[in-house]
Amino acid sequence: MFLDLGIAALVFCAAHAASAQSVSLSLMWDANPEPDVAGYHLHYGTAPGSYTEVMDVGNSTTATVSNLPGGSIYFFAATAYNAAGVESVPSNEVSSAPTPAPSPTATPQITVSPAGVNFTAVAGNAAPPPQSIQVTTSNGGPWNSFDTSPWFNSGPTGGASGTLTTLIPNIQGLAAGTYSQTITFSAAGLPDKVVAVTLTLTASPNPTPVPTPATTPTSTPAPTPTPNYTATPTSTPAPTSTPTHTATPSPSPTPTPIRFISVSPDSINFTATVGGADPAPQSIQVTTSNGKSWRNASNSSWFDARPTRGASGTSTIVTPHLQGLVAGTYSRTVTFSATGLPNKVVVVNLTLTASRSGPAGLANVSTRVFIQTGDDVMIGGFIVAGDVPKSVILRAIGPSLAAFGVSGAMADPALRLYDSTGAVIASNDNWRSDQSQTIEATGLAPIDDREAALVTTLPPGAYTAVVNDENNNPGVALFEFYDLDPASSQLANLSTRGKVETADSVMIGGFMLGGDQPTRIIVRAIGPSLTQVGVPDALVDPMLELHDGDGALVAQNDNWRSDQEQQILDSALAPSDDRESAIIATLNPGPYSAIVRGAGNSTGVALFEIYKLTP
């Protein structure tokens, strides 16, 4: 009987955001082996086994369904038909809840210029001139510094990314020799950066006396003889030589005691879980070299350091208060001072993890990419899964990227958020124009007033965010999603579409995995297959790298069939073009970043995607 065999397999081969309001899905299936197949129908709808729409795709075994409203689950099946219109039994049914999504962060680091500081001077003479170090953080956040040196002071001991600290040497009382110390820079979420500081002191030379030259004797000529008698010559006495002066060496200067404040320990680290108990207080013992009393001051809103003054050798207690903080890494300082002594700075770090009672999953995601106009704006989509609303903050960062070396940063990013019907549910241009107090209370306010932010509570469903420049000027921008309530519904199936350039303008996506168990994911970099669904200037050969929170390479891929081919096929999320990239990994909770670039420094539009897989 005609078409009894049906169609062997139907799978998804691509998904992308057609616009801020709709999405498209591409599917492919095995050809029906009957000899009189005239074409294929693709049936779909929003309920299993109930298909309200049908597409006639001719003899093609692939199809793209465009302009699907986001936020719904769609079900698909394919059939074959002959010239008489008789259809086969349906293929297997597949389903998807398509939307785009955001992701990630640049390789975390603190950069300094210069990389080392060297002082030279002569013992007993004037101190060498101060030198400055410029400090830049890759996430645009502020930095702090601390040192243990008794012979130089540094300040300020904290500042915004791209600002300077100045090292002022004090060599009084130091003997000739070579001295080495360090200054350490820290910032929330970034590895510390240590700078070596050296001092070379040469001995003061003793003056070399100049001898007075001896007088050279002058001979007296003999007299002319007189007739009749002989004159007796008179001898000239030898001159008396002038004694040579021997210099008396200058006495060595009396060493001046080195002035300092010492602390133990020289830094404090707290760890805790969101919603859990505050960690136990920790004490710092403070000793002054001159025996004077000390005072302290801190720049923190999440701990107290008391008492704020005391005698040399006593302690202050650092007590954390973490209510209201979200998961992340925090760093603040306590500065100790005493009369006649240079200040001493102690760094206090806090690592706050997501609630251990929460399920493993995706959280806190961002994407950095070069944004243009038209089809080349940034489109990020995400799904809130579960059955309760989720509180989030979304940010669009631009101008502050220039402070940590990103060229071509977007001057005035604007942010719009759409629901699954395509309706705008929130928008912002400059974050202080609305919700400024709410945004500041999260501890995640942007650095620059021209940057955008939204705090909102979203019910489960699909959402799309669009970032572009308010004045339609191109530039590099960072889209970020922070989960303010990790214990509630989960974030899932994230993707971002944008233009991949070169150097600082490659696409960089980052994500945070929460919970206390590993999560199995697949990340994909889609390029050439976007052409089939109407995206112009698609990236021809995307390459994908996956890095952990320390910047170490976890995995990389160029063409997905070159590695993990069977695992990727089994996931039913294999890219439709062999030149596209995919990586499957089981990752522990923590931060990760992915980099999408074009092979051979090629450029074009690409789609970065991350899916949470079942174990």
Per DSSP, helices labelled H in 508-596 are 565-570
Mean pLDDT over residues 424-428, rounded?
A: 93
Residue given tokens 């729409």 in the structure block: 53
Q: How far is the first Cα of the chain from the last one, in angstroms, to the nearest whole number?
A: 42
Selection from 161, 125, 126 nearest residue 142 by Cα: 161
pLDDT, one tens digit per residue, over 88-100 is 888 888 877 665 4
**CB-based contact 598:525 (threshold 8 Å):** no
pLDDT, one tens digit per residue, over 454-509 is 999 988 888 888 999 888 898 888 888 887 776 665 665 677 777 888 887 788 87
pLDDT, one tens digit per residue, over 7-56 is 545 554 544 544 445 677 788 887 888 888 889 898 899 888 888 999 99
Mean pLDDT over residues 130-143, rounded?
A: 89
Q: Which two tokens stand for residue 28?
A: 């492919």
pTM: 0.43
Backbone angles phi, psi at 366, to 5 degrees: -160, 160
- Please say if the pLDDT value at position 385 is more than 60: yes
d(CA 457, CA 325): 17
Q: Which two tokens stand for residue 550?
A: 């320390």
Selection from 412, 367, 421 nearest residue 394 by Cα: 367
Provide the CATH topology of domain 10-96. Immunoglobulin-like (2.60.40)
d(CA 267, CA 308): 17
Provide the CATH topology of domain 361-612. Jelly Rolls (2.60.120)
Residue given tokens 């001092």 in the structure block: 199
Domain residue ranges of the chain, discontinuous segments joined by +: 10-96, 110-200+258-353, 361-612
Question: DSSP class of residue 277?
Answer: P
Peptide bond preceding 90 in cis form (omega within 30 of 0): no
CATH architecture of 110-200+258-353: Sandwich (2.60)
Secondary structure element (H or E) that encloses residue 439, with its range? helix 436-441
d(CA 61, CA 8): 12
Question: DSSP class of residue 231?
Answer: P
What is the predicted pLDDT for the residue at 5? 41
Contacts of residue 563, defined as CB under 8 A and 6 or more positions apart, other chains included, come to 557
Q: What is the CA radius of gyration of the chain?
A: 37
* Residue 130: burial class (beta carbons within 10 Å; 0-12, 13-18, 19+): middle
Distances (CA, A) of 91 to 248, 295, 564: 107, 77, 27
Selection from 46, 23, 69, 71 nearest residue 460 by Cα: 71
What is the predicted pLDDT for the residue at 232? 45
Contacts of residue 390, defined as CB under 8 A and 6 or more positions apart, other chains included, come to 384, 457, 458, 460, 483, 485, 488, 489, 491
Mean pLDDT over residues 278-289, rounded?
A: 92
What is the predicted pLDDT for the residue at 249? 56
d(CA 588, CA 519): 6
Q: Which two tokens stand for residue 344?
A: 């001493």
Do 10-96 and 361-612 fold alike per CATH?
no
